[in-house]
Structure formats: C-alpha cells, structure tokens
Amino acid sequence: MSEHTHQPESGRARELPMARSMCWHCQSEMTGEYFCGRCVKVQPLSKELDYFTCLNLPRKLNLDEQALEETFYALSRSFHPDYYATKDEGEKAISLGNTALLNTAYRTLKDPVQRAEYLIRLEAGSAKDIRNSPPADLFDEILELQEDLDEFRSLSAGESDERRQELLEKLQADRRTLEARKAQMEDRLREQFSRWDALPTEAEGEATVRSQKDAVLAGMQEILSNRTYVKNIVNDLVAATSPTAEPGRSAWH
C-alpha cells in the first residue's frame, strides 16, 4: 500500500517549501507534494516553512478552525511515525522531524494568543521583545495588590485569622477585577485581528500597507504584553488563594 492514499485531498496545488528540490533518496527532481514522485519516499519539510503555509492557511488571524483541524489530521496521516515503523531509518527520521514541526505549527495556530505572537514574530521578527509590562493605568492598583499578596503569603493559617480573611476577600475581589480586565484585553485583541485581516495584501500599494500593518502589529504587541502581565498576576492569585487548584487554561493560552 503506498502512502499516496493519505495525502490531503485538498485538490489545490500548493507551494510547500521542502528542504531540497531533489529527492534525498533517489536524487530525482521533486514533483510530488510531500513524497517523491518516483520512489515514493517521504521528503523533509523545510526548516524555513512558516506555520500558516504548513497548514495551508492564509496569514490571517481569524481563521477557520475546522479547516485548521482537518488539514492537521490529514497531514498527521501523511507524516506520523506510527505509519513509518516498518520503513528505513532515513524515512523514520524525516517522519519524526516533519511530525514534530507539524505539531508545533498546529499548537501555535490553534491558540489565538500564540497565533498572534507568532504572526508578530513572523512579520516583524520582534516577538522576543514582547515583555510583560504592566498596563499603565493599573500600575498603582497592582503595586498595592502585590503588597497585599506578600502579606497574605507571610501569614500562615492559624495565626491572625481575622487579617488573613480580610486579605483573602480583598485578593479575591482583585482577582475578579483583573479577570474582567483580561477579558476586555482579549476583546480588543479580537478587534485588532479583524483590522489585520481586512488589510490588503502587500502588492497593492506597498509602502502604505506596510506602515498600516506595522501599526496593527504594534497595537497587538502592547495588548499582548499587558495581557501576559495581568494573566501572570491572576495565576499568582489563584495559586495563593486556592492552593489545591492549578491555574486553569481557557481557550486563550
């Protein structure tokens, strides 16, 4: 049985950058999509391959989640090591590498925050600069909260129960405020997603489009850095006020 049966049946011709233009095995020119047209061996994906291209999606932020999953499943069927257990070492290694890349691509694009961070890195090469900076308007509140949190942690159960209870209630209220704030940021991020998706592709009026793009990216970057900061504090609050719980994970990473 040949592996051809498990290539995604998208029908559309795709320009997927492979690592080489020649088959690693039989040295013939590559004609197939992921498999050599002549010897049917699986080909390594290029390390430069971006995740959107890998998963056959346009570089947009509101994406078709169902299409994403379908492509992921189809490509898993093409590359997964379980289907290469009886193949030679070369094919096994390629299967492993391709699947690892595919899994990372899928995980990154599935989560809206990771997706946005990845896009910024891809477009501006500067996602590393996304620091966790506190939102300017919350600065004073957060300072006070940190003090309360430190005091609460220093009080062990049993002693000064009254003060402890007081702090606990205050921190729980702070937590609700910050969670609401985080949700607001996520709404604003969604707005940026739509602005990004509405921008024309670069070919139509390059310089102006580029500057528009950069503005959206910068806006997203600020929201993301504020949100990460708030998220970390919320996690700290959850950990301190309900010690048995692990920080939960919403659809937003």
Binding residues (CB under 8 A) for another protein: these are: 1, 5-6, 73, 76-77, 80-83, 85-86, 96, 99-100, 103-104, 106-107, 244, 246, 248-251
Query: Which of residues 216 and 227 has its CB atom nearest to another protein in the complex?
Result: 227
CA distance 87 to 100: 18
**Ramachandran assignment for 111, one of left (phi > 0), alpha (psi -120 to 50 degrees), beta (any other):** beta
Question: Which residue type sits at 220?
Answer: M
Q: Decide: 54 and 16 in contact? Cβ < 8 Å.
A: yes
- Residues pairing with 22 in the sheet: 29
Query: Which of residues 102 and 167 has its CB atom nearest to another protein in the complex?
Result: 102
- Residues pairing with 45 in the sheet: 18
Q: Nearest approach, Cβ of 219 to another protein (angstroms)?
A: 27
Q: Nearest approach, Cβ of 200 to another protein (angstroms)?
A: 34
Q: Nearest approach, Cβ of 81 to another protein (angstroms)?
A: 5
Q: Nearest approach, Cβ of 85 to another protein (angstroms)?
A: 4
CA distance 135 to 6: 48
Query: Which of residues 63 and 217 has its CB atom nearest to another protein in the complex?
Result: 63
Query: Which of residues 149 and 217 has its CB atom nearest to another protein in the complex?
Result: 149
| Angle ∠(187,190,192) on CA atoms, nearest 5 | 115
Q: List the end-to-end C-alpha distance of the chain, in Å, as a whole number.
A: 40
Query: Which of residues 217 and 237 has its CB atom nearest to another protein in the complex?
Result: 237
Which of 66, 7, 65, 67 shows the shortest CA–CA distance to 34?
7
Q: Nearest approach, Cβ of 247 to another protein (angstroms)?
A: 9
